Amino acid sequence: MINLENVSKLYDLDETKVHALDNVSLHIARGEYVAIMGPSGSGKSTLLHILGILDIASSGVYKLEGYDITTLADKEQARIRNKHFGFIFQSFNLFPELSALENVMLPMLYASVPLKKRKDRAIYLLNEVGLSHRMKHLPTMMSGGEQQRVAIARALSNEPDLILADEPTGNLPSDKGEEVMEILEKVNKTGVTVVMVTHNPNKGKRANRIINVRDGKIIDTKKDKGDLYAK
Amino acid sequence: MLNEPFKIIFRRFVNRLTESGLLIISVALGVGAFAAGGTLFVNVVNQNNELLNSPSYKEIVVTTRADKDTMEVPVIEKLLSETAVLTESDLDAALMMPSISYSYILNQTRLRMINEEFQSNQQNMTPPEKIEVPEVEGATNKASSAKVVDTAEIEVSDKNMEIKELLEEDLSEIRDDDSIVISDEDELSGYEVTAQFFDAWNISAEFGSLFSTSDYSQTNSLVIIGSDFAKTLVEDDADVGSLVGKRILAMQGYQTIVGILEETGTNYDYEFFSPYSDNTSSGEFAQLKKMFMNSELIFAVSDPEDLDSVSQMLEQWFASEYGDAQVIVSNPRLEAEQTVSRNSGISLLLLILAISGLFISSVNISHILLSRTLRMKKHVGILMALGATKKKINLLFSIEALIIIIIGTVLGVLIALPINSQMQGALDLTAQTNWMLLISALVSAVIIFTFTLIPIRRFDKIKPADAMRTQ
């Protein structure tokens, strides 16, 4: 599904160039559950942003389903993010002005889903994540766990092929983090590819594969039990 | 109904009412200042052009020393002093100066209308036994040979008999007569004019005709009336043209309407004109009238540049004819030019202030929006991650700016309207200019909008990943 070939990312910071990613090559198959691990500053978030087309690589090729997406126009990139990707962030990134329901409805607007369908699907998804009683609430009135569940519902709104999660449990107490992990596993079981960035080894172990990143390079990719069961 | 991104914008707008209010007030003040200043400037320029191009500001007026309103001054006093009496022959002065295009006599006169109201007033008063008209012997000798006649001994002339008859006419009978019209006005002012008057002002008759050459030597009372006055003489919607050939009942006798002028937009629309002639054979009365009614001789030049030199030449000519300082040679354009330059100065200053106001408020709006933009960076990043294109983001914030500007512009117009009418009044401008105000408001709104695009353009440079890092 995803093929990165010799991807590098350079940042210009006060005349010194920082290699956030250095010649990274990576393959992720459809339906995989991948954890990207590494200490802070290792480049794992940059890798996730490039995978999600939130950022563009300085060099190298990113192929999605065989298509080179780095050369696509803004409109096409936006369409891929909207229809095929779902994002979950450490700090939830919900719109504080919108209710839970409206936050979940928003991505479907850009997919031109009619209002009635948007609303029905958003209600269904919020039910699925156990928030049927919080639909009209603003994010500020909800706990972190609840907010992250709204964010997951939002990420799933356009039935994505790939979920990109950046430290999804980082801002949550452990029991709430566990809830989020369970939902992600459930989503992965429906055939959705999940790529999760984390620095917590316990969370990482639950993935099929762990990619260890250090200083902008992939130092090893370890296939664990999940992978063994699969093959 | 608002979609979700607009709900974000709208709720932010409401949540930050102080900032939003400041934005709207900035727009309103900028638009208000520019609309008022711009409108005033354009109107002043228009008015100035109109003023200086109007025929009366290419004219030099020659009058005798006495005031125009001294018709009641005893003739005697004037006759004894050697005051100049201007006549048609003085127009010959024009022949000496090639730059004069027209010269004519404009002699103020009045018609006293006879109608029911007038008659009832007359009955309430003691009816005048005699109308006191001093008689002058040998009028052809003009002023110096005039003799004082005891008014008590004046015979009631034919003219007076006629007036008496007119006063006693049965108006109801006359009203039935189709060929006679009765005006409900008390009095109508007008001018005795020479033929060149109509040429100078380029006025033609809409109905009937102007005076023919023979009209100037006839004794019949002929009038041409202005279009607005003509309308008062007919029933609603009736044809004004039907008045031609009819007679108006006035104390001076029946006045036959020869023609009705086209609309001129000047006060001539509500006046009447009768032919001026030096040698009307009704003789003494007419001659005398000319002596104590100031004749205005008017000389028009084709090129306003020549006004000064022509004035001087005319002054010399009249001095040689009547002696020093017997006539006043006035040049209305000088006054007009003073007004014009004063108004231009004021309006230019206001325009500069208005433009500065607009600029300052545009920069201010741009600045407030810029800081908003920076605070919206994260929102923009999330929207882009969720699938918004840069175009959609630009559109969203452009519409927000547009709505702020529309509200501000409406307020600005409401501010500008009273200021504008105040200023128009202060500068003696004829106000008919609300469309100009709307145009300048629109122009300033567009200028402000282009300024708001500067911060909105900043979103183009935002990559969703950058925006995401902003906490």
Of A54, A98, A103, the CB nearest to B464: A54
Span B197-214, average pLDDT: 85
Minimal Cβ distance to B382: which of A74, A79, A95: A95
The bridge status of strand B222-225 relative to strand B253-261 is parallel
Predicted local distance difference test score (pLDDT) of residue A229? 41
Name the residue among A68, A64, A20 with its Cα closest to residue A42. Answer: A20
- What confidence score (pLDDT) does residue B157 get? 53
Query: Residue B146 above 70 pLDDT?
Result: no
Contacts 24+ apart (CB under 8 A), B166-171: B166/B114, B166/B249, B166/B251, B166/B253, B167/B114, B167/B119, B167/B122, B167/B127, B167/B251, B169/B114, B169/B249, B171/B114, B171/B115, B171/B116, B171/B119
Q: Are A195 and A30 in contact (CB under 8 A)?
A: no
How distant is the Cα of B421 from the closest Cα of chain A, in angstroms?
44
B396 interface with A at CB cutoff 8 Å: no
Would you state the pLDDT for residue B289? 60
Of A46, A78, A105, the CB nearest to B4: A105
Q: pLDDT digit string (tens) for A44-88?
A: 889 999 999 998 888 999 999 888 988 888 899 999 999 999 999
Q: Could you say which residues from 101 to 130 on chain A have a Cβ atom under 8 Å away from some Cβ of chain B?
A: 102-103, 105-107, 109-111, 115
The rounded distance, in Å, linking the Cα atoms of A86 and A151 is 9
Q: What is the mean pLDDT of residues B61-90?
A: 58
Distance (Å) from the C-alpha of residue A24 to the closest C-alpha of chain B?
A: 19
Q: Are B358 and B27 in contact (CB under 8 A)?
A: no
pTM above 0.90, yes or no: no
Q: What's the pLDDT at A191?
A: 92
Q: Identify from A49, A117, A121 which residue to disrupt to test chain B contact, counting B C-beta atoms within 10 A and taking the largest count.
A: A49
Q: B6 to chain A nearest CA, in Å?
A: 10
What does the pLDDT read at residue B309?
87
Q: Contact B388/A110, CB-based, under 8 Å?
A: yes
Which segment, A183-187, B125-129, B142-146, B218-222, is predicted with the most confidence on average? A183-187
Tell me the nearest-neighbour CA distance from A109 into chain B, angstroms. 8
Residues 25-64 of A with CB under 8 A from B: 46, 49, 52, 54-56
Q: Which of A100-104, B133-137, B447-451 has the lowest mean pLDDT?
A: B133-137
Provide the residue type at B427 as one letter: L
pLDDT number for residue B356:
95
Chain A partners of B1 at a C-beta cutoff of 8 Å?
115
B4 contacts A109? CB cut-off 8 A: yes
* B387 closest CB neighbour out of A55, A91, A110: A110
| A78·B15 Cβ contact <8 A | no
Question: What does the pLDDT average to over B200-210?
Answer: 86
For residues A37 and A212, the answer to whether their CB atoms sit within 8 Å is: yes
pLDDT tier for residue B246 given thresholds of 50, 70 and 90: confident
Sign of CA dihedral B406, B411, B414, B415: negative
What is the spatial distance between Cα B20 and Cα A23, in angstroms, rounded to a whole number? 48
Predicted local confidence at residue A71, as pLDDT: 84
pLDDT at A230: 40
Q: ipTM of this model?
A: 0.93
- Tokens 């092929």 -> residue: A161
Label each residue of chain A as H, E or C. CEEEEEEEEEEEECCEEEEEEEEEEEEECCCCEEEEECCCCCCHHHHHHHHCCCCCCCEEEEEECCEECCCCCHHHHHHHHHHHEEEECCCCCCCCCCCHHHHHHHHHHHCCCCHHHHHHHHHHHHHHCCCHHHCCCCHHHCCHHHHHHHHHHHHCCCCCCEEEEECCCCCCCHHHHHHHHHHHHHHHHCCCEEEEEECCHHHHCCCCEEEEEECCEEEEEEECHHHHHHC
Q: How far apart are CA B205 and CA B222, in angstroms?
A: 14
Residue range B414-423, pLDDT digits in tens: 998 888 888 8
Q: Which of residues 8-67 of B touch A (CB under 8 A)?
A: 8, 11-12, 15
Please state which of the ranges A182-186, B212-216, B321-325 shows the lowest mean pLDDT. Answer: B321-325
Say whether residue B3 is in contact with chain A using an 8 A CB cutoff: yes
Q: Touching check for B395 and chain A: CB below 8 Å?
A: no
Residue A99, chain B, CB below 8 Å: the answer is: no
Q: Is the pLDDT of residue A43 over 90?
A: no
Is B4 an interface residue toward A (CB < 8 Å)? yes
Q: Enter the tokens of residue B90.
A: 């003085």
Q: Decide if B1 and A109 are in contact by the 8 Å CB cutoff.
A: no
Nearest residue to A142 (alpha-carbon basis) of A128, A121, A126, A157: A126
Q: Which residue of A has its CA nearest to B392?
A: A110
| pLDDT reading at A4 higher than 50 | yes
- Between A217 and B153, the higher pLDDT residue: A217
CA distance A22 to chain B (A): 18
Is the per-residue pLDDT at B442 higher than 80? yes
State the nearest Cα–Cα gap between A220 and chain B, in angstroms: 26
- Burial of B386 per CB tally in 10 Å (0-12, 13-18, 19+): buried
Give B332-380 pLDDT, tens digit per residue.
Answer: 888 888 888 988 998 899 999 999 999 999 999 999 888 888 888 889 9
pLDDT at B33: 93
The C-alpha R_g of chain B, in whole angstroms, comes to 35
State the nearest Cα–Cα gap between B448 and chain A, in angstroms: 28
Q: Is the pLDDT of residue B161 over 70?
A: no
Q: What percent of chain A has pLDDT over 90?
A: 67
Which residues from B are below 8 Å from A140, CB to CB?
Answer: none
Q: Do B8 and A54 touch (CB under 8 A)?
A: no
Token pair in block for residue B204: 């033609």
Tell me which of B129 and B316 has the higher pLDDT: B316
Alpha-carbon radius of gyration of chain A: 18
Q: Which residue has the tokens 């029933």?
A: B235
Residues of chain A with Cβ-Cβ distance to B8 below 8 Å are 95, 97-98
* SS3 letters across chain B: CCCHHHHHHHHHHHHCHHHHHHHHHHHHHHHHHHHHHHHHHHHHHHHHHHHHHCHHHHEEEEEECCCCCCCCCCHHHHHHCCCCCCCHHHHHHHHHCCCEEEEEEEEEEEEEECCHHHHHHHHHCCCCCCCCCCCCCCHHHCHHHCCCCCHHHCCCCHHHHHHHHHHHCCHHHHHHCCCEECCCCCEEEEEEECCHHHHHHCCCEEEECCCCHHHHHCCCCEEEECHHHHHHHCCCCCCHHHHCCCEEEECCEEEEEEEEECCCCCHHHHCEEEECCCCCCCCHHHHHHHHHCCCEEEEEECCHHHHHHHHHHHHHHHHHHHCCCCEEEECHHHHHHHHHHHHHHHHHHHHHHHHHHHHHHHHHHHHHHHHHHHHCHHHHHHHHHCCCCHHHHHHHHHHHHHHHHHHHHHHHHHHHHHHHHHHHHHCCCCCCCHHHHHHHHHHHHHHHHHHHHHHHHHHHHCCHHHHHHCC
